[in-house]
Structure 1
Amino acid sequence: MTGDGGWIPENLDPARPSPARIYDYALGGGHNLASDREVFDQLVKIQPNARQIAWSNRAFMRRAVLFMIESGIRQFLDLGSGIPTVGNVHEIAQKADPECRVVYVDIEEVAIAHSRLLLDEVEKAAIVEADFTRPDDVLKHPETLKLIDFSAPVGLLAVASVHHVPAEIDVYSAFDRYRDAVVPGSALAISHFTADFEKVHAKEIIEAVQAKAHNTACLRTRSEIIDLFGDFEMVSPGLVAASNWRPDITPPPGVHPEQDGIWAGVGVKR
């Protein structure tokens, strides 16, 4: 590690932006670099409400976690968790019930480094360094098996992570494996960036990030995202724009859910 609070790995290229750090900056986090901020400033020129898109997604995650807790779930597997930033899953869950257990999963080096620092003295939460598209690496990891009891319901979270998986990778088989691994009463929350909304310049946003960060992405359609839920039963209101999924408040005048650019929903295993 370097001296920057211990969160920057020694082999990190500071000139190369990271989607995880760009998202952290969009949410107002402090674990990003100048190269990340430069890309996000470019995104704002393409999509002026880019920061609101990030916040709509984060707010969906909070509501999804609270829904799962209300449904009796007390353990969570966060697939592609990114850099722990404003409103982490374990903070949301353990505030509601201190007995909640959370396993974060990521492969991005800064996300791993910062997660380890953040969770160093946190009980009932851990980070697993693994590619979530290889589910056995996640499900059989010692940290996962230490915290997650697969004989009890599990909350699976894939929040703004699956669109980073390129089309050539069979993400559907991976999610089949995750769904099969959990018992009835478990739930799966997914949010996914998409080109389905006319008010969002999704393709331009992805192209801008790819050009700088060399990160692959796949803008799946609503029907393609629904397929990730398999035979899980979608809870009301189904797969909708992120800010339309069980909102806490009515959006103010002039704010349209179609500007979220994100499909979001929760399915439950019956």
Structure 2
Amino acid sequence: MRPEWLPEGADITTPNAARVYDYALGGFHNFDVDREFLKAAQREWPGVVALAHANRAYLGRVVRWLVDAGVRQFLDIGSGIPTLGNVHETAQDTAPTAKVVYVDIDPVAVAHGQRILRDNPSAVSVRGDLREPERILSDPEVLALLDFGEPVAVLMVAVLHFIDDEDDPAGIIRRFADATVAGSYLALSHGVPAGDDAAGQARVRQLYQRTPTTFHVRTVEQVTAWLNGWEIVAPGFVPINRWHPEDHHDTASAAVGAVARTGAGSVSCPAVPGGQTAGISRMYDSAGATEAGESDIGFHPSR
């Protein structure tokens, strides 16, 4: 029997990345097919669930940092199924006037978001595709809540590795930069090759090839190159567990993240021999990652 919260047309016969991630975080909006998928991924790469939790913790730290920096508007793209520590809860806990727009391509994520936000006039959940930035930026609900004449924090946390090179991730980021005023921010995280269990990563990649969702894990250098036109704030592009850490026991290393600000012109971290970004290679290598070619990780980009 289909639960009443499930939107019409939602496919529950194939693993869904948003629902798999929801299950990894202890949520309830998932099905047997999603749970079995995650169990299989865990067998192949035991770090999958820890990485999902590390990414969620990173998101919370980023939002708190942005609120402290004075940001009061958030556009969270690839937001996933709402669970504990949502952006609006984190932001509005400190800044009750903060406004949040969640955007996701998954109908289950959007429908559940709409349900929990019914009584919150400062947060909405809309359906949208990151590959179509113009549609997001012109969506009536987005424009009704966010004032793009004021700074906005655009959150792309663990979503860009769902985007094929052919869809131009750098161009997508550039379009959001063009739509926001100086003093706006972009926060992102992205899967990277990990050296602790490259074989396990590869096997998880094979699992995802059986679903509608594919991953493109890229090097630090590749991801950093997308941020021309943004000023990367301290501590720069680092493993997500090392971005203003609160839990020094977090050892996840297969994703990196950064927060960047508009208004300072084209800024990139200085290069060092070997093609890595200054400072990142030392931290990244010590976290157990490598400069290997493309591989894939097993967690959902929408937190």
Common fold: TM-score over 0.5: yes
Which residue number corresponds to residue 60 of structure 2?
A: 62
- In structure 2, what residue type is equivalent to 1:266? V
Structure 1 residue 214: Cα displacement? 2.6
Which residue number corresponds to residue 203 of structure 2?
A: 204
Structure 1 residue 204: Cα displacement? 2.5
Match of 1:262 among 255, 268, 291: 255
- CA separation in 1, counterparts of 2:140 and 2:54? 33
How many equivalent pairs are there? 261
Structure 1 residue 94: Cα displacement? 0.6
Structure 1 residue 225: Cα displacement? 1.2
Seen in structure 2, the aligned counterparts of structure 1 residues 129 and 13 have a Cα distance that, compared at 3 Å, is: closer
Structure 1 residue 74: Cα displacement? 0.2
Structure 1 residue 77: Cα displacement? 0.3
- CA separation in 1, counterparts of 2:241 and 2:43? 22
- CA separation in 2, counterparts of 1:63 and 1:159? 12
Kindly indicate whether the alpha-carbon contact (under 8 Å) linking 1:52 and 1:260 is maintained by their aligned counterparts in 2.
Answer: no
- CA separation in 2, counterparts of 1:39 and 1:203? 15
Seen in structure 2, the aligned counterparts of structure 1 residues 3 and 42 have a Cα distance that, compared at 3 Å, is: closer
Which residue number corresponds to residue 94 of structure 1?
A: 92
**Residue 136 of structure 2 aligns to a residue in which SS?**
helix
Kindly indicate whether the alpha-carbon contact (under 8 Å) linking 2:117 and 2:124 is maintained by their aligned counterparts in 1.
Answer: yes
- CA separation in 2, counterparts of 1:155 and 1:194? 23
Match of 2:177 among 176, 179, 184: 179
- Tell me whether 197-206 or 101-110 shows the greater mean CA deviation: 197-206
- In structure 2, what residue type is equivalent to 1:149? D
Structure 1 residue 224: Cα displacement? 1.6
Kindly indicate whether the alpha-carbon contact (under 8 Å) linking 1:188 and 1:267 is maintained by their aligned counterparts in 2.
Answer: yes
Is 1:31 aligned with 2:8? no
Aligned alpha-carbon RMSD (Å): 1.5
Seen in structure 2, the aligned counterparts of structure 1 residues 29 and 260 have a Cα distance that, compared at 3 Å, is: farther
- CA separation in 2, counterparts of 1:142 and 1:12? 24
- In structure 2, what residue type is equivalent to 1:261? A
Kindly indicate whether the alpha-carbon contact (under 8 Å) linking 1:39 and 1:209 is maintained by their aligned counterparts in 2.
Answer: no
- CA separation in 1, counterparts of 2:179 and 2:24? 34
- CA separation in 2, counterparts of 1:136 and 1:13? 27
Structure 1 residue 227: Cα displacement? 2.3
- In structure 2, what residue type is equivalent to 1:42? A
Q: What do the CA deviations read for 1:142-175 (whole angstroms, capped 9, x no partner)? A: 1111111111111110011111112221121111
Structure 1 residue 110: Cα displacement? 1.1
Kindly indicate whether the alpha-carbon contact (under 8 Å) linking 2:233 and 2:261 is maintained by their aligned counterparts in 1.
Answer: yes
Q: What do the CA deviations read for 1:14-43 (whole angstroms, capped 9, x no partner)? A: 221100100111111111111011010011
Kindly indicate whether the alpha-carbon contact (under 8 Å) linking 2:185 and 2:259 is maintained by their aligned counterparts in 1.
Answer: yes
Which residue number corresponds to residue 244 of structure 2?
A: 246
- CA separation in 1, counterparts of 2:228 and 2:201? 25
- Tell me whether 129-138 or 57-66 shows the greater mean CA deviation: 129-138
- Tell me whether 50-59 or 110-119 shows the greater mean CA deviation: 110-119
**Residue 228 of structure 1 aligns to a residue in which SS?**
helix
- CA separation in 2, counterparts of 1:79 and 1:229? 17
Identity of aligned residues (%): 38
Is 1:50 aligned with 2:66? no
Structure 1 length as normaliser, TM-score?
0.92
Structure 1 residue 3: Cα displacement? 5.6
1:82-161 mapped onto 2 (5 Å cutoff): 82-161=80-159
Structure 2 length as normaliser, TM-score?
0.82
- In structure 1, what residue type is equivalent to 2:260? G
Kindly indicate whether the alpha-carbon contact (under 8 Å) linking 1:56 and 1:260 is maintained by their aligned counterparts in 2.
Answer: no
- CA separation in 2, counterparts of 1:40 and 1:83? 16
Gaps of at least 5 residues in structure 1 are none
1:230-241 mapped onto 2 (5 Å cutoff): 230-241=228-239
**Residue 238 of structure 1 aligns to a residue in which SS?**
coil
Kindly indicate whether the alpha-carbon contact (under 8 Å) linking 1:237 and 1:245 is maintained by their aligned counterparts in 2.
Answer: yes
Kindly indicate whether the alpha-carbon contact (under 8 Å) linking 1:116 and 1:127 is maintained by their aligned counterparts in 2.
Answer: yes
